[in-house]
Amino acid sequence: MAREATGGALVVAEAGPQALVQDHGRFGVRHLGVTQGGALDWVSLGWANWLLGNAPDAAGLEIAVGGLTLEAESRLTLALAGADLGVRLDDTPIAPYTVFVIEPGQRLVFERPVHGLRAYLALPGGIAAAPVMGSLASVMREQLGGLDGQGRALSKGDRLVARHAECQSRRLDTPPDPAAADVPLALVTGAQIAHFDGASLFEAFNRAWQVDSRADRMGVRLTGPVLRCRLGGMISEGIPLGAVQVPPDGQPIVLLNDRQTVGGYPRLGALSPLACARLAQCQPGESVHFAAVTPQRARRDYLAQLARWQ
């Protein structure tokens, strides 16, 4: 809780396009129309937390694209993971997957994407704030979560306070690459897949898809071959994370953390959580492929990732 915070603080000197406080997400509330939210690349947030000895789902900062400058009020140990956004501590470059100390008055600058799209910053014990419905995940559209509970992106003058003064930092010898090219996106097939025609199914899994510029925390559009589904109108139903829905224009939209809770377009299935994290690091214009997997396989890979943080 915010009141227990004992750690140091960072002040936002320049806000950039979108920096959000995120944790693992908001759960048990979707029947009320409240979305899950949470870090899009939850794997990178998990690594940033691991580097400081935090719980994997402690609240950190998700920095999209760059343009953010933070200034330290007090001495703080921080960890960085995820995309390379050309981060500097005053004039010293800071590589992703490192732990470093920031002294009072020093500035941490996130410039622009060098590799990947979203960087994650962890503070000792996580960022202190009052959770809304069990989570600090910022959902701007729903005005829930974040520093003041209103879901806002960070703005100039905001203060990020660490929950703890101390941390147990760790080293990662071989840092992962969250934006590795040529990693196919694992898609658990199901939902309305039987209603797509054979040629469309062949193309869905054998052709490249381009990440469109229409991409945000609700979903990412992909462009490529036109997929045809025999289903006409559908009655709205619950939508899982990573759902690959195909509207009448035949171009899929992968639904991510801030998606609406119910919807009515046919779906091929859903990307695995690991594939969602990978997609969140793709820049517009990048090519991706789908690879069909069973839920058993997706689960094994997911649990293996969680085990790395034990």
User: Footprint of other proteins on this chain (CB under 8 A)?
Assistant: 27-34, 36, 132-133, 141-144, 149, 188-191, 235-243, 260-263, 267, 269-270, 272-273, 294-296, 298-299, 302-303, 306
The residue to which tokens 């020093």 are assigned: 106
Closest to other proteins by CB, 69 or 245: 245
Closest to other proteins by CB, 95 or 130: 130
Least gap, CB of 225 to other proteins (angstroms):
23
Helix, strand, or coil here: 273? helix
Closest to other proteins by CB, 29 or 172: 29
Long-range contacts made by residues 151-158, C-beta under 8 angstroms, separation at least 24?
A: 153/15, 153/18, 153/19, 153/20, 154/12, 154/15, 154/19, 154/20, 154/21, 154/61, 154/68, 155/12, 155/15, 156/12, 156/13, 156/14, 156/15, 157/11, 157/12, 158/11, 158/12, 158/15
Indicate the DSSP class of residue 124. Answer: T
Q: Do 281 and 117 form a contact (C-beta atoms < 8 A)?
A: yes
Closest to other proteins by CB, 26 or 163: 26
What are the strands of the beta sheet with 98-102, ordered from one edge? 18-22, 60-64, 115-122, 76-84, 98-102
**For residue 110, how many other CB atoms are within 10 A of its CB?**
26
Least gap, CB of 196 to other proteins (angstroms):
15
Least gap, CB of 71 to other proteins (angstroms):
32
Least gap, CB of 55 to other proteins (angstroms):
14
Q: Do 38 and 258 form a contact (C-beta atoms < 8 A)?
A: no
Closest to other proteins by CB, 119 or 239: 239
Instruction: Identify the CA nearest to 277 among candidates 166, 148, 141, 176.
Output: 176
Closest to other proteins by CB, 58 or 121: 58
Closest to other proteins by CB, 31 or 171: 31
Least gap, CB of 282 to other proteins (angstroms):
20
Least gap, CB of 235 to other proteins (angstroms):
5
**For residue 249, how many other CB atoms are within 10 A of its CB?**
11
Instruction: Identify the CA nearest to 68 among candidates 127, 21, 137.
Output: 21
Least gap, CB of 231 to other proteins (angstroms):
12
